Every structure is written in C-alpha cells, then in structure tokens.
Amino acid sequence: MRIYCPICGERDSGEFTYGGDATVHRPAMDETDAEAWCQYVYNRENRRGPMLEYWHHTQGCRAWLVLERDTVTHKILSQPRLVGPWADEPKGNPPIDSGSDTGSAERERVSEPVGAE
C-alpha cells in the first residue's frame, strides 16, 4: 500500500504507523463519567469498508495525517490531510482528484490526535 504524505509525497506504507480511528473523540478532561472514558479508551468499531484513520509518518516528516481507507480493499479513498501543528505546512500536488466525493465518513468531525502537539 502506498500513502501520499502532503509534505513528503507518495511513500510506502511501511514508513507510516497506524494511529487508529479518527472519529473517536476524547472526553473533556473534567469528565468524571467512567463509562465515557471506558468507551474512549477501549471500545472501537471493527468497521468493514470506508473508515477515517490517523496515520503517523514515523519514518518521514513525523506528521500526522487523516485519510479515509477502505478496510477491505486498502484503497485510500480521500486525499490525506495533515492534522495538528503540521496542518499549516506547504502541501504538494494531491494524488487524488480533490473534486471527488470522499464518502460519508469524511463529513464526520475529526479531532486532533492525542500527543500531536
């Protein structure tokens, strides 16, 4: 699988580390409901099909990306975008037509990865 990093360009997926489901949101730090924290820390959907995911370019620029990937075919369905402090970095040419529909998962709110700052 090849992943397009907006800073480095297209790279082998071996340079990246999977960062998890990008639709999970951390409760507020003053949240006292143990169930909310349990849900955040332990419970994940095992989706089949399109899924928004975090990827960390561990062996490259070390930026965090969010992309939509089909978990069955591993096809990347959306243009990866930078999140966290890298979001303002200059971007290269996108590998995927930016005018294409990226699916319903892209429309979900995406929060910043933990520890990306």
Output the 3-class SS for the chain. Answer: CEEEECCCEEEEHHHCEEEEECCCCCCCCCCCCHHHHHHHHHCCCCCCCEEEEEEECCCCCCCEEEEEEECCCCCECCCCEEEHHHHHCCCCCCCCCCCCCCCHHHHCCCCCCCCCC
Tell me how far, at minimum, the Cβ of 60 lies from Zn ion, in Å.
4
Residues 48-87 that bind Zn ion (CB under 5 A): 57, 60-61
Nearer to Zn ion, 51 or 65 (CB): 65
Nearer to Zn ion, 8 or 116 (CB): 8
Site size with Zn ion, rule: CB under 5 A: 6
Q: Is 5 in the site for Zn ion (CB under 5 A)?
A: yes
Tell me how far, at minimum, the Cβ of 116 lies from Zn ion, in Å.
14
The residues binding Zn ion (CB under 5 A) are 5, 7-8, 57, 60-61
